[in-house]
Structure 1
């Protein structure tokens, strides 16, 4: 009898433990978890959101989605998507449609993402803005070029797309890689166009070199480093670095306005300045993270979103990996455009108004650059929404 009571008690105990264990397992997934760079934004008034959506939709249909637009378009406020749409084909011949998960070539918006990894390394104490590039690549011949002058395009280095166009420097039947760009410079085959930090000159070479610096500091190939250090932490699942050897047959293609496919050329293996493929939704994730002081420290953010080039008058300027337009009414627009082959892209981040506007096209059109006009819906920006 005692054995029976003991056996029943044991069964009851084990069963109770299993129930308790099962209850804990069920509760864990229901716990609220936040992204590592989560920022709380206020909710948008429903009436206001509906009004904004109507105006943006009208602008999109009249200014962007004309002449068979191919790409993705998104507008968000406080992290809430107000409007988005996807049209066209990532592969026109196969009629492979573009949707919210289809990665498109960001062209020079890639610079924003490359810069962010460098800047986070600075926040982590692995680099300093004042460090010379020569410190990490002793063979580099220009001792006064710093990480900062690479980030803000004040280095004086000429564009690799131009100096490799000379047959005595590069055989265009061969693919050019970032390491080739560095070797050409280190071999003394080019001169600086001006004294470092004396003026601004937008140049892709700056970011091709910064990609090599990412590799040096992370001890990983650039595609892997960007994946581990940026894309995975931000859950940017549809974003990757284009690898010419691996991805040339599967990546989204780019086209002329007539749907004529634009072939790859010898410059299509260089990354950092370009060759990041992503989606509007993934870019929104990145943009939202930039508001977090866990992503950028407040002190570094102040250096990122400021102009460095005031030698010439005008509203246009460049920060650290981002373009600026600064107006006299103390309103600043932050943005970056891109153009590579047939891909034309635009990324606007209105920091004061917590607004993100993204237009990505893989079929050539300048219309995506008109997205800046939408800024007037959110703040005192000197644009007008044109009426037909």
Structure 2
């Protein structure tokens, strides 16, 4: 990729002095938490880091930090942060600034975390990919809907974001819950859109049901299960599941591009597909953990990081809780975008090159999706722009 020459060296130097930066990981083997050891990562050469930092900063300045950007930005290789920036407000009215520890609504990046916990339950033999939802919820009417078809969006279930918007199906004066969605499907007020595992259809309903699976298996609330199985083991101290009745007045606000606040609605009580708040640094911890066979087994990762939908030609695909772009030369980009209210988010993990790219915004902008373009700084990833969730 050709970048314009660095025109804002003064701004870059100002940022370096002003902003808090994660200390590079210097060890060749890093322990995230007791019992979870990472593979050996090479320590990056100082000249390499300096060169990449300048290129990334130029990209950030010209493509992300425009139109009063509000959010977080982080790029790391081999677990070593090359550049991170935090700007804007978690609460514009109070002028509360976004910092490295400010949690932002992840929108659909939440699916990555929900998916990881499901994979961990599979690793511990609590469930399998072939487990039918009906075996866990006998009232569920579709026996061919399995854990795998929920994870890879091949279940055939309709999207609750659309069918609950129908006044004849749901009273919008009431906050919708995950159990309500299960009940609506169980009573067949909504039916399958297609035969399970016959094609791909990205669908939030899948991950609301996976959240119920986590609750069923662990006998904990989704918030407690995620904390116990994921957030605490990885020391993700700024990450939590949003509980609307408890936290609606304290979390980071959602904004339109004009800084007009977007209020919560009847669908904001649903979790699993969304409603996890986190930071760029915590997402980096999760990304690094996925390289460890102590965290997720090699066997389950091989199943997670591959495509399942090849009915249509193209580079886009979906694994188990992660999106893929697959090119003819076997290059693969793993990523997930998000969009909920004013929050737009993007997480890219280049497994072959041990690179992590993260952009989170709580003020509406599609520019965060352009972070994928930075992939070409680290490997043979074709230039792409994706403005879709």
TM value normalised by structure 2: 0.90
CA, structure 1 residues 149+256, in 2 after alignment: closer, same or farther (shift >3 Å)? Answer: same
Structure 2 residue matching 1:82: 3-state secondary structure: strand
Whether the aligned pair in 2 keeps the contact of 1:103 and 1:239 (CA below 8 Å) is yes
* 1:375 is the counterpart of 2:375: yes
What are the superposed Cα offsets for residues 82-122 of structure 1, whole Å, 9 maximum, x if unpaired?
Answer: 00000000000000000000000000000000000000000
| Structural mapping, 1:178-327, within 5 Å | 178-327=178-327
In structure 2, the gaps of 5 or more residues are 1-29
Residues 237-281 of structure 1 show CA distances to partners (whole Å, capped at 9, x for unaligned) of 000000000000001011000000001000000000000000000
Give SS of 1:255's match: coil
Please name the residue that 1:23 is paired with. Answer: none
Aligned to 2:148: 148
Segments of 4+ moved more than 4 angstroms:
none
Q: Which is further off, 35-44 or 156-165?
A: 35-44
For 2:32 and 2:199, locate their aligned partners in 1 and report how far apart those are by CA, in whole Å: 43
Q: Residues of 1 paired with 2:128 and 2:32: CA distance?
A: 30
Report how far residue 38 of structure 1 moved. 2.4
Partner Cα separation in structure 2 for residue 101 and residue 205 of structure 1: 30
* 2:83 match: 83
- Distance, in Å, in 2 between the alignment partners of 1:342 and 1:295 is 33
Q: Which whole-Å deviations, capped at 9, do the CAs of 1:41-76 have from their partners, x for residues lacking one?
A: 110111001100000000000000011100000000
Secondary structure at the counterpart of residue 76 of structure 1 = strand
- Displacement after TM superposition at 1:34 (Å): 5.6
Name the CA distance, whole Å, in 1 between partners of 2:314 and 2:255.
34
Q: Look up the match of 1:25.
A: none
**How far apart are residue 170 of structure 1 and its match?**
0.4
* Within-5 A mapping of 1:25-40: 35=33, 36-39=35-38, 40=40
Name the CA distance, whole Å, in 1 between partners of 2:282 and 2:250: 20
Matches of 1:373 and 1:37, distance apart in 2: 31
TM-aligned CA distance change 1:137 to 1:354, over 3 Å:
same
Q: What's the offset of the Cα at 1:37?
A: 2.1
Q: Return the TM-score normalized by structure 1.
A: 0.90
Give the match's secondary structure for 1:383.
coil
Aligned-pair CA distance for 1:169:
1.0
Q: Secondary structure at the match of 1:75?
A: strand
Describe how 1:51-62 pairs up with structure 2 within 5 A: 51-62=51-62
Q: Distance in 2 between matches of 1:46 and 1:70?
A: 30
Q: CA deviation at 1:329?
A: 1.4
Q: Is this contact kept in 2: 1:76–1:356, CA < 8 A?
A: yes
Note the residue ranges of structure 1 that are not aligned, 5 or more in a row: 1-31
Q: Distance in 2 between matches of 1:321 and 1:176?
A: 23
Give the Cα separation in 1 of the matches to 2:70 and 2:122: 37
Query: Is the contact made by 1:376 and 1:384 (CA closer than 8 Å) also made in structure 2?
Result: no
**How far, CA to CA, are the matches of 1:354 and 1:165 in structure 2?**
41
Distance in 2, matches of 1:197 and 1:324, equals 18
The Cα offsets for residues 19-48 of structure 1, whole Å up to 9 and x where unpaired, read as xxxxxxxxxxxxx96623221311011100
2:142 & 2:122 partners in 1: Cα distance? Answer: 21
- Contact (CA 8 Å) 1:103, 1:238: kept in 2 or not? yes
1:142–1:33: structure 2 CA closer, same or farther, 3 Å change rule? closer
